[in-house]
Structures are given as C-alpha cells and as structure tokens.
Structure 1
Amino acid sequence: MPETSAPERSALDTVAAASQDPHRDQPWAELGLKADEYARIREILGRRPTSSELAMYSVMWSEHCSYKSSKVHLRQFSEIPQETPVGKMLAGIGENAGVIDIGQGYAVTFKVESHNHPSYVEPYQGAATGVGGIVRDILAMGARPVAVMDPLRFGPLDADDTHRVLPGIVAGVGGYGNCLGLPNIGGEAVFDETYLGNPLVNALCVGVLKHEDLHLAKASGVGNQVILYGARTGGDGIGGVSVLASETFDEGGPAKRPSVQVGDPFMEKLLIECTLEIFAAGLVAGIQDLGGAGLSCATSELASAGDGGMHVELDRVPLRDSTLAPEEILMSESQERMMAVVEPGDVEAFLAICAKWDVEAVVVGEVTDTGRLQIDWHGERVVDVPPRSVAHDGPTYQRPFARPDWQDALQADSANALPRAITGAELRDTLLRLVASPNLCDKSWITDQYDRYVRGNTVLAQPSDSGMIRVDDESNLGVAVSTDCNGRFAKLDPYAGAQLALVESYRNVATGGAAPLAISDCLNFGSPEDPAVMWQFAEACRGLKDACVELGIPVTGGNVSLYNQTGETAILPTPVVAVLGVIEDVTRRTPSGFVAEGEDVFLLGSTGEDLSGSEWAHVVHGHLGGLPPRVDLAAEKALAALLVEASRTGAVTSAHDVSDGGVAQALAESALRNGIGCTVGFEGDAFLGLFSESAARAVVTAADAAALNDLAARHGVPLTRLGRTGGPDLVVDGHFSVSVEELRAAWSATLPAALG
C-alpha cells in the first residue's frame, strides 16, 4: 500500500485523531450544514466527525440528496396502489428509477430529474451531465437506455441571459444525447420571467429490460468485492449539484460556487455497453451509479441497502488529479462512473469485460458484516460510520407552510373579465399572435439539434403530443411518454395545477393510442424556507396523490428541486409530470396532424369559460390571475379510454390534445403538420370556442362519423362536430380565414428571429 509522506500523515484527519481532539473547529457551516445537524452527526458518531466524514454527511444531508424538506409530503405517494392495468410495479420510489411491467415479459424503467442550478452556472456542461446522470440511473436498473426527453424552462425569450443560457443548454442536451445514440423524443421549452436567472433543465430517460434483468442497488454477501469502474475521479463537480441545488441564488448572478461536472459522452457510451454485457454475463450482485454526492452516495447507499457493512480503500480510486484530498475524492461528482458488487469468483470475468470495452475498473473494497462503512486512506481510517445514518437517516424537516396572504386576491382577479377579440379580424389577429408566441411557436430551432430517430425505433417524436418508442420488433409492443406542466396554473392553485400537469401528460399519451400506466415527477419550486413556497409544494403533492388514486396509476419515483429562486423571486411552481403509457401495436398509433382531406373534425369534451392562466391572458394581456381550468378526473379517464380504443380500432385518423392555446392552437398544429387546412364553426361564442383552455378535451378527425359517435356515447364523452378537413386555409366559418402558409410563417419565425 502506498506510503504517505510525513506532512501528509500529520495533516490527515483520522478517526483516531477525531477521538483525541473533539473540540477542533470544523467548517460545517461552510459545507451547508446547520448547527443542529452538526450536533446530530456528533451524537451519531459519539465524537466529532473526521473531515472526510463531515464531507460525506454534508453532501448526503444536502437538500438535493436527502429530501429533508420534502419527504414528509412525499410519503403520501406510498398510499397510491402499486398495481397498473398491465401488472405490478417491479421497482418504485427509493430505487434509482421506477420499473413497470408492460407485458410480454418486458418492463420499462423511466425517471425525470433536475439539473437546474448547474445549467445556469455552466449551461452546456450542466445540461449535458444532467442527461448523463439520468441515463446512468436507468442503466443501473439493468435496462438498456432507449430514449431521452428534456422539459426546459427559460426566462423571457428577448432577455440577454436567456440568450446566454438557452443555446448552451440545448447544445448540451443534444450533444450528450446524440453522442450516446439516444433519440430525444419529446419535452418542452417554456418561457416566463420568473425563470430568468434560474432556468429549469429537467431530463428524462426511458430504458427497456426483461423482468429477469432487473438489478437493484444493494451490497449483499459478505466478502463480495466492490468495484469502481468508468472514468477517473477528478476535481470537477466537487460539491457540485449537491450544494448547488441546496441554496438560493444571489441576485448578483453566479458567484464562487462548486464547479460543475464535465461530461464525456463517449466514455458513457462505452460504460453503457460494458455494463450491459456484464449484466448479460450475470456478474453483478448489486450496482449503483455515481451521480450527486459521488462516492459518498454510492458507498453509503449500497451498504445501507445490503448487509450493512463495507470496507473501502480510498487510495485505490483512479484519479485524474493526484493532489485530491480524501474529502475531495468522496465529494467529487465526476461523471461516467459506476460501482458494482461482485462475487469473488466473478471478479476476473468482470474486469475482463471492462478491459474489452477500454473501461478502467478497480477493486476498491469489499462487503463486510460490521454494520459500518469504513474507508481507509493510505492505511489510516478516515471514515467509520453507520452507512444508513449517511444515506437514509438524515434530518427531516417539518417546514412551516401557510397559504399566502396574496392568494385570495390573485384568484379573485379572473381573466374572464379581460377584453376579448370580437370581430373576425380581431380573432384572426389573436390566433396569429398566439401561434407566434414563444410558448406556442415552432420549437424546431431546438429539436433539430437533437437526433430524434437514431436506433430506428422512434414511432412518434416532437412535435407530436407524445414520444413513442417500439420495444419489440416482432409484436410491435411500444411505450409512449409525455412531460407537461403549466406553471401559471400551479401559481393560481397548486393543488389543481399539479393535477392539470398530470392530466395533460396523461391525455397526450392517450391521443397517440397508449394506455397510461404510471408517472414520474420532477417537482421544481422556490425556497422551502418560505412558508408560501412550502404550501405550494404541499398542495401540489396532495393534488398528485389524489389524482393518481382516482386515475389508478402509481408514482414510480422522481425528483424534488427546491431553492429555485433568485433573491426574493421564486420561479412559478413547476411540478413537471411525466406519464408513461403502453401500446400493444405501434403500427396502430394515432398521429397528431390531419392526414387527409374530406374528413370530419370533432371536439371531444366540453368547453367552459376557462381563460385564467391561459396563453391568451399571458400573451395578449400580460395577466395572471383567477382560477385555473376545472379538473375532472373522471372525464379525463373516460377520454383517455376512448382515445386508446379509437386508436386500436381505427375509429379516429388523427388526435390532438387541447391545452395551451385552446382549440385554436390544436387546429393550427393539426393543419400545419401535413399542410392540410380545415373549415370549422362554433355554436355560440367563437372566442371561447377558440381560446378557452378547458381540460379533458381533444380534437380528432374521423372517416366514419357514425362509428366515432357510437364510441363517444359508450364512453360518456361529449362529441361536437366542428367541421371538415380540406383546402389550403384554416377557416372559422362566419368569422375569418387564414392560409396554412401564413400560419406556418408566423409559427416558425419566432425562435430563429430571436436566436439566429
């Protein structure tokens, strides 16, 4: 074992030293710990922590890793039934990612996570490593990653800082995903002033596996070897996302903060293929990726989920920087690393596969029966802790929360009282203004930087309502995924806003013909130290739980991202919800654009006066107030069942959900997809017919109106004939006409004009 020099040995803070000088000053506050948390660590250990132990506790007890402000509210998700219409959830909350049975012996794992603050500090690498991290979470479950998605939020499109962060974030998402050979099949790009200085970069990955291939993160079997493999550990990302995601940004912008991780997608590609071959050879007893908190997380979580003991020789860890101290090695969040637990007889075969893929691998420790996580550095013990105290038994805060004083006034200020377009010319101008608005315009400036069809199994991708991937080439079994959230709705009513995010994703999956099975969520909110923010968070969690119970779909896992605010300005509460659905035959999927002329156009669902929080109120009046659209979960469930059956039987030829921008936007996007116009009419108020954002609705086309009418009646879904497809124009009978080409010009010009 390498010898340390005299100066290194004297400077090393060992367990023995910690017992002998209990009153040494330690930088616990600088590492983000509170006084009572530091006192609790001393109580757990019966002494002061070593500097290495302090580093581990500080990152693992951070908001990002411990969920200390949110877990009291997240526990209610366990009340949701874990069965799906297809079968039991195979792995859920607490694992690296949720795993869902989709039939035919296949399972799908998916998860969405945040990489918000790192992407503001260093947009390209922050976004790129967000993709890399979520892909490794999926890989660690035993699955082959097959697709990614990216729900994004930015400040105003014309803001200087948006021009700084957006191109880098988009390039990072695309650059990393494209190099991995993973199609980017969906996501969002939303603009609002509250995200200025705090963009949201949420990343989702989907993976496919057979039931028998499932792997879990646990270190079991005394004497089993612990192998670290992948990239070398460097100084990039020390403290990284663990600290960045656990404090509020100052108004002055980036200050001295932990470095953002640097990604190497080509190493990750080798790591993926190497790991999948290791799985196929049956050489792994437990596995964990190294993401937030790095080695601190991997060692403590593997040990606490297994037999409870692990011994690690830290000086065996391959380094890119030989000057790193043990504390820095434990805190480093360098990317493209995995940790596996392997039986002694399989180590040689494991290392041989790693060598084949040119992936560095080193045995760094073994599973023990001590019930302790013990880490040595050059022959000296620097960590000796109960692993569960690091990984799972961190602080739990009952943060005070209260409905804010301003909520009543906000909800009383309804958008229904705002001046509306009346004449045909005014309606036409409103439509063109909305389709060109940043949130509703063509996003191909972004999505063209992503490979949407690599691997050859992409069935639907942007700008379709959902992304869809073929899972099995012979049976054409597939899955669809959508992510959504309207932060304005959540600001008006966080309980209903979270449910509206869920049902929009639920509806988007169903319009393509997939039956919704499960959700993953990424809950992005401001500071948990603000009682109003915690009230928003608590209400959003309650809303999601209640909706999942009624819809019969479980929460498989997800992510909480707090402290998303700059100074006193919090982001809009943004509970992004991803819904995954299964489709038995992807060749029967329903497209979202008009496919032929001469087909009847119908509206499924009922329209009310739902203008508060709408894109019309936001774009035309700069207004936010009132109550969001009413949530009717029974109506959403009936609509989804109809859409899934209609896809399977061919009763509809196209289907587009109605959400942001109302029926007007749904008609415009349906017409733009294949350049096919339509003529429609509205009974009563044409303005509401066009721009209301009532939920539980979809625009569909059908070649056989009678068959669709029978289907709607059987499912109890209101059906209204709007008109007929055909011609070069979108015509609202009795009011106005606009050519599809003029719509396209307005829709497609916005992002290129702003971003170049």
Structure 2
Amino acid sequence: MTSTQPALGGRIDTVEHAAATPDHPQPYRELGLKDDEYARIRDILGRRPTDAELAMYSVMWSEHCSYKSSKAHLRYFGETTTDEMRAKMLAGIGENAGVVDIGDGWAVTFKVESHNHPSYVEPHQGAATGVGGIVRDILAMGARPLAVLDPLRFGPADAPDTKRVLPGVVAGIGGYGNCLGLPNIGGEVVFDPSYAGNPLVNALCVGAMRVEDLHLAHASGVGNKVMLFGARTGLDGIGGVSVLASETFAGDEAGGGRKKLPSVQVGDPFTEKVLIECCLELFRSGLVVGIQDLGGAGLSCATSELASAGEGGMRVELDRVPLRAEGMTPAEILSSESQERMCAVVRPDDVEAFLRVCAKWDVIAVEIGEVTDTGRLQVHWHGETVVDVPPRTVAHEGPVYERPVERPADQDALVADGPERLARPSTPGELRETLLRMVASPNLASRRWVTEQYDRYVRGNTVLAQPADSGMVRIDEETGRGVAVATDCNGRYVKLDPYQGAQLALAEAYRNVAVTGAVPLAVTNCLNFGSPEDPGVMWQFQQAVRGLADGCRELGIPVTGGNVSFYNQTGGTAILPTPVVGVLGVIDDVRRRVPAGIGAEAGETLLLLGDTRDEFGGSEWAHVVHGHLGGRPPAVDLAREKLLAEVLVAGSRDGMVSAAHDLSEGGLAQALVEAALAGQTGCRVVLPADVDPFVWLFAESAGRALVAIPRSEELRFTDMCSARGLPWTRIGVVDPASKALEIQDVATVDLAELRAAWEGTLPALFD
C-alpha cells in the first residue's frame, strides 16, 4: 500500500485541490468501485472526490458495509414482520444490534456477525477481533455484554489447512473472550469440503440492560461534541472489510519507508475490557447522547452513520485523532479498523465529566468535532478541508443492485439423486458399527477439545453451556430471569432446498431453545453465501431469505438484525449456502431449566416426541458413510415446531420433564448417546415392533425431541401431549445400573466405549 502524496507532489488532497484538478486520475477500481459508482460519486459531489472521500465511499459502498447486493432481498424481512412481532422489539434491523423486552424492566440485545476472510488470512487475530467487534456492537446499545457464542465452519477435519486454521481460530476466540471475562456458552463446529480455503467464523454476543438505558447511534443536538475514545488509531486493519488492498492508501518500503501491515486487525482484549467498563459508567452517568463503535470502515462508518442518523451534519478535526503510527494520511486514518475504539456524542456541559470518567479508566479520549446543522460531513486536516460530503450518501444511500437470480442448472439433478439408492445397515452388527462410526465422525463427535479452551462459567451467571442444546445465562439474580441462545444451520439442507433449509435452521435453533425450558422470542442471522455475481448463488440467497422470513412470521418471532457475508468461495467454488440462525428465548426462572443429560433416577420414562419418517437427504449418515449429497431435506412443519416448543416449556414450568434433548443431525441414535453421556447414566431402549430400526435410529426428521419423564409425571405429561395433538412414543427407561446404552434387538454399547468414540476424534486430529 503506497501513499497518495507522491502523485500530488507531496501535498494532501484537499476539497479545494480536488475541485481544481477534475482530471486527476484516481485508483477507484483498485478500491472496488465500479465505473458507474465512481461516476455517481462525482455527480453527488459535483467534482472528483478527494483521496479521503474516495476512501470513505469505497469502504462504505463495499458489499460488507452497504449490503448493495442484498438490500433488495432483505426488505422482505420488513414486509413479513407483523405489528405483533414489532411490538417485541425495542430496536431492530438497521441498529448496531437488535433489542427485545424480556419483562420486569429488562431488555436484551444480541447479534451475530462474520469475520470469515480475516480468519483465514490470520486465524488468531481474525477470530479474536471478530469477537471484539460483536462485543462492541452490543456495548453500543447501552448493554453490558454477558456471553458469546461462536458458529464455526471449516474444511475437512483431516485437511492440512484445517489444522492450520482451526487451532488458531479457537485460540483467538478463547483468548479474547476469556480476557474480557465473557463466558462462551454455545455455537457450532462443522466440517465440510466446501469450506476449505474459506472457513466461516461467525460470532454472536448477547447483552442485557434496563429498558431505560437503551442507546442508539445518532448525532443529535447541534453544538454537541463528538468524542473519540479507546485505543489509538494505527495502520492495522486498513482494507479489512473492503478492497483497500491498494497501493494508494499507505506507504511501502520503497516509497514511505514503512513496513506493510496486514489488512487483518490486531486486537487487545485488555483495552477492550476497560473500554467496556468505561462505557457502562458513562451510560450510568447520563453523559452520552449517541454512540457508535468503530468496527468495519472505522471512522468513515462511525462519523457518517452518526451524522446521517442525527441532525445531518458534523464537523471533524481529523488531526486530533490519537495515532500510533507516524505520517498517516487522512485517508488512512478514516479507513483504519484499529480495534477497541468508540465514538460518542456528548453535550458540551458534559465533556469535562466525560473526560474524567475516561481518565479514571485510563482510556484515551479526545474531542474531535461537533454536531452541525449544515447537512454535511466535513472533515478537516490541519486547517484544510479533506472531506465535504452529504453523510447519507456515504452511510445509507449507496448502490443497490438487482443481481440476476437463476435457479442453478444442476439443482434438479441434485434433488433427483436421492439417498434411496445408498446401501443401508440391516443386521444388529451393522447397526452397532454404524452407530459407533457416526458418533465418532467429525461433525457429531464431542466438541470438548474446543470448548475446554473457552471459559464457559466466568462471572457466575452461566446456567447452561456446551454441550447443552442452548447456552443460558441468568440476567437478574433476584428473580432468576434468564435468556437462552442457540445457533444452527445445516448447509447441506440449504444446498438441497434453500427455502426449506433456512426454515430447518430456524426450526432447530428454535427447538434448541425450547428444550431447555425457555420461550423463543427473537431471531438474529448471519447469511454466509458465495459470490453475489453468480445468479445461482443469488437464487440460493433469495430463497433462504424468504424461507427465513416466512418461517419467522409463522412462528411469530421477529428478525431483529443480522449480517450478510458474500464472496465466500475458493476460485469458482462457493461454500455450502450457510444462513446461520440464532434464536433467543426467555425463561422466568433459570432454576427450572431442563438439562440435556438424563439423570440417575431409575425407571424414568424416555419418550420420543414427534414423528419419525424415512428422511435421509442431506443427512449426516449419507455424508459420513457414503460421501453423498442429494435428494430432499427433511420436511419442516413450523406449526408442529411451535406446538412442540409449547409442550416442552409447559413441561418445564410444571416440573414434568427432568431432561430434554432435541433430535437433529444423527437422529435418535445421536440424541440417546449424548443424553446418556451427559448424564453419565445408562438406559434401555425398545423401538416399536413395526418400524425399521435404521430409520428410527438415524433419520433426521425435524420437530422431534427426546425427553425423560419421572414416573410420577408420565401420565400427566402424555395426557397433555395427546390433548394438544403432539405425537409421542414410549421408547425406554433410564437404567443407571447398566452403565450402557441398550437398544433391544439392535446393540448394547458400554458408556465407556461410547465416550471413547465420541470424545477421541478432535484430540486425535488437533492435539
């Protein structure tokens, strides 16, 4: 990256100079802007942009920041959100994070975002700063961050590059989150060849606040001051979210004499920790009018979005920004994504008190500007104007593309190639061998090797964490009110049917929250797809968005916000379409949460709730045993999912359920193994006489859960299921004395053998 200064004879490119040199060549293509986009910028400004303005537009009009290829489809979320759904939200799509009211004066905010490409380039820092960024999004809403989750996808588990990327990603997530004192309570680790060369590192954070403490990102109040506080601004992270890997915006060894730095940001969790505490004290003291974190696009984003959402004008003195590198140009300062920084709008009379709080926490803070009524974002550098733009054109009025949408030519052939032709195990010996092979497969094996690197219980409010179906944290120590959060997505299902696959992701996350006893309340999402310039990818995206939006409307829970990540592909090969869905639920008393592990009380009844069908399209069995992907994914019935959730929550509330575990990848066999190992308790299972054992053990039909019911509650619980129309099947009993999973006429496997198979895979691959 080289400086613009030599091309201008060593001078900074000011607005006055730009107006006087309309034909000066600019590297807009290298910065990711198309010819028509550059022409539009010139039309907006009535002249060519300065170097600093060009930097701002290029990062803010990038796919990551402007959503220019997805906006046309994301509008469908708003079109399908009912007034009843909106009533649950205090803040929604367009804010730093969604906020929902959970009762008793409490509000909860949560959001999931991607840091995929940086995590491939530099796994540790890419993943670490992904955590840091999402935590600041939650902080910017006025909330204390409480916990994080990490949905992860990698290439084949035994691939050399996976062994390079995965340990670094896990160390980065654990290192940053642990230093912040935030428990990591959930997430996913999925392996598939499509993610080789393009892992997905998504990060979710959840936080809580009193309803009256909600803060929004707007610069209101003419004369109010703009305060930049947190870490110094450096050269790291320039171009991290767009295409600023240009020779135009920084020096090189030959020209400026400075060492090239990677586009991946460098995180400092200890700085972020004090920044969190500083922000919370500022909020409590009533010293903040509006606030925005500095993440993607750095100051370009923070200043333009604050101004655009407020009175419409802002003046910034860029030379006041504390720097940690010498000779940085205005374009570099505006584009830097250095971490652990926030931007606040403060009343003039409160500036002194604001600075005192920052000094108390040893947080650098400076006044860099003020709110104006000019309708312009004007940035000055040593007395000269380097930016003079309408802020909405930067932050909210970027390009919107109606990309071509076309069902892939091979989609019909993919669906037609169903799993029915695959050889199935039939004898007890074959079924036993299949069970052990499935349990030890990378996608079903224990994630303990990963989760033990995270602090899951710091701060003492974690109620459930991995390997629970959903993470749960206590919000209010007095009442016991808490929230549960789960993330899910099966990319193979989405590949086979994007509309239905997205709804299956929603259904599984919804079910994972409900089995713990929490009422599902709201949704966030991270939509990871290939190139939007591929009409087939855009068809997948369109269908997934519509499926998710329609599904949320049917379930009556709103999408509060999320993230779109495009260009996830290696060469011409896109990843499996992966719309990760996060569902948040509320529980009025965490003491009645339901664990996944069956207990040690002998004779408790095991019930399978829901219907089991011969559904193996996109299944883990087809993937593990045959390397096959084809056919149709399991059918999804959201009315049934809603009914199942209501029954599970009622069973929890009335003390009728001692354990519950959802059925998903791996089917009933996997659920039985995980429930027995989690509770360190054996069980005896008897499948119905007229069923195919293979189908009942390994099918992945949706809308099902395994529950353990005390003998004294069995009749009451089954009567409730029957009265509500929820199918149930008695399949066995808890038997602590056996220390084995006994499936009559199929297999008996000691818990020790199951544990060795289940827990041995990831350590063998990555230790």
TM-score, scaled to structure 2: 0.95
Matches within 5 A, 1:175-190: 175-190=175-190
Partner of 1:463: 467
Partner of 2:249: none
Unaligned regions of 5+ residues in structure 2, if any? 247-259
Partner of 1:162: 162
Among 653, 662, 684, which residue is 1:657 paired with? 662
Tell me the distance in 2 between the aligned counterparts of 1:462 and 1:257: 37
- Alpha-carbon shift at residue 88 of structure 1 (Å): 2.6
Tell me the distance in 2 between the aligned counterparts of 1:510 and 1:325: 52
1:529 maps to amino acid? E
2:624 maps to amino acid? V
Tell me the distance in 2 between the aligned counterparts of 1:160 and 1:241: 27
1:561 aligns with 2:536: no
Matches within 5 A, 1:315-326: 315-326=319-330
1:698 aligns with 2:705: yes
Among 630, 637, 640, which residue is 1:635 paired with? 640
Secondary structure at 1:612 match in 2? coil
Q: Note if contact 1:188-1:483 (Cα within 8 Å) is conserved in structure 2.
A: yes
- Alpha-carbon shift at residue 94 of structure 1 (Å): 0.3
1:454 maps to amino acid? V
2:155 maps to amino acid? G
Q: Structure 1 residues 708-717 or 341-350, which shifts more?
A: 708-717
- Alpha-carbon shift at residue 432 of structure 1 (Å): 0.3
Partner of 2:695: 688
1:735 aligns with 2:751: no
1:541 maps to amino acid? V
Partner of 1:33: 33
Tell me the distance in 1 between the aligned counterparts of 2:235 and 2:245: 18
Q: Structure 1 residues 736-745 or 171-180, which shifts more?
A: 736-745
1:724 maps to amino acid? V
Q: Note if contact 1:92-1:99 (Cα within 8 Å) is conserved in structure 2.
A: yes
- Alpha-carbon shift at residue 653 of structure 1 (Å): 0.8
Tell me the distance in 1 between the aligned counterparts of 2:117 and 2:694: 40
Tell me the distance in 1 between the aligned counterparts of 2:574 and 2:117: 13
Q: Note if contact 2:113-2:134 (Cα within 8 Å) is conserved in structure 1.
A: yes
Q: Structure 1 residues 43-52 or 591-600, which shifts more?
A: 591-600
Deviations 1:179-228 (A, max 9, x none): 00000000000000000000000000000000100000000000000000
Tell me the distance in 2 between the aligned counterparts of 1:85 and 1:121: 40
Tell me the distance in 2 between the aligned counterparts of 1:31 and 1:136: 27
Partner of 2:674: 669
Q: Note if contact 2:107-2:211 (Cα within 8 Å) is conserved in structure 1.
A: yes
Tell me the distance in 2 between the aligned counterparts of 1:243 and 1:580: 34
Among 292, 303, 309, which residue is 1:305 paired with? 309
Partner of 2:371: 367
Secondary structure at 1:522 match in 2? strand
1:512 aligns with 2:516: yes
Partner of 1:252: none
TM-score, scaled to structure 1: 0.97
- Alpha-carbon shift at residue 259 of structure 1 (Å): 1.6
Deviations 1:23-62 (A, max 9, x none): 1100000111111100110011011000000000000000
Secondary structure at 1:364 match in 2? strand
Partner of 1:101: 101
1:720 aligns with 2:729: yes
Q: Note if contact 1:115-1:241 (Cα within 8 Å) is conserved in structure 2.
A: no
Cα 1:276–1:73 shift into 2, 3 Å: same
Residue correspondences, number: 743
Partner of 1:295: 299
- Alpha-carbon shift at residue 620 of structure 1 (Å): 0.3
Tell me the distance in 2 between the aligned counterparts of 1:546 and 1:668: 34
- Alpha-carbon shift at residue 685 of structure 1 (Å): 0.4
Partner of 1:253: none
Deviations 1:465-499 (A, max 9, x none): 00000010111000000000000000000000100
1:725 maps to amino acid? V
Tell me the distance in 2 between the aligned counterparts of 1:21 and 1:234: 30
RMSD: 1.6
Q: Note if contact 1:117-1:241 (Cα within 8 Å) is conserved in structure 2.
A: no
Among 684, 688, 693, which residue is 1:679 paired with? 684
- Alpha-carbon shift at residue 243 of structure 1 (Å): 3.2
Q: Note if contact 1:87-1:101 (Cα within 8 Å) is conserved in structure 2.
A: no
1:667 maps to amino acid? L
Q: Note if contact 1:82-1:553 (Cα within 8 Å) is conserved in structure 2.
A: no
- Alpha-carbon shift at residue 716 of structure 1 (Å): 1.5
Q: Structure 1 residues 145-154 or 732-741, which shifts more?
A: 732-741
- Alpha-carbon shift at residue 666 of structure 1 (Å): 0.3
Tell me the distance in 1 between the aligned counterparts of 2:285 and 2:376: 30
1:423 aligns with 2:430: no
Secondary structure at 1:188 match in 2? strand
- Alpha-carbon shift at residue 715 of structure 1 (Å): 2.4
- Alpha-carbon shift at residue 731 of structure 1 (Å): 1.1
Among 596, 600, 603, which residue is 2:605 paired with? 600
Tell me the distance in 2 between the aligned counterparts of 1:230 and 1:715: 55
Tell me the distance in 2 between the aligned counterparts of 1:478 and 1:633: 25
- Alpha-carbon shift at residue 79 of structure 1 (Å): 2.2
Q: Note if contact 1:239-1:258 (Cα within 8 Å) is conserved in structure 2.
A: no
- Alpha-carbon shift at residue 85 of structure 1 (Å): 8.0
Among 269, 276, 287, which residue is 1:265 paired with? 269
Cα 1:244–1:403 shift into 2, 3 Å: farther
Tell me the distance in 1 between the aligned counterparts of 2:472 and 2:503: 23
Cα 1:543–1:7 shift into 2, 3 Å: closer
Cα 1:632–1:7 shift into 2, 3 Å: closer
Deviations 1:674-699 (A, max 9, x none): 21111112221000000000000000
- Alpha-carbon shift at residue 86 of structure 1 (Å): 11
- Alpha-carbon shift at residue 7 of structure 1 (Å): 12
Secondary structure at 1:292 match in 2? coil
Partner of 2:254: none
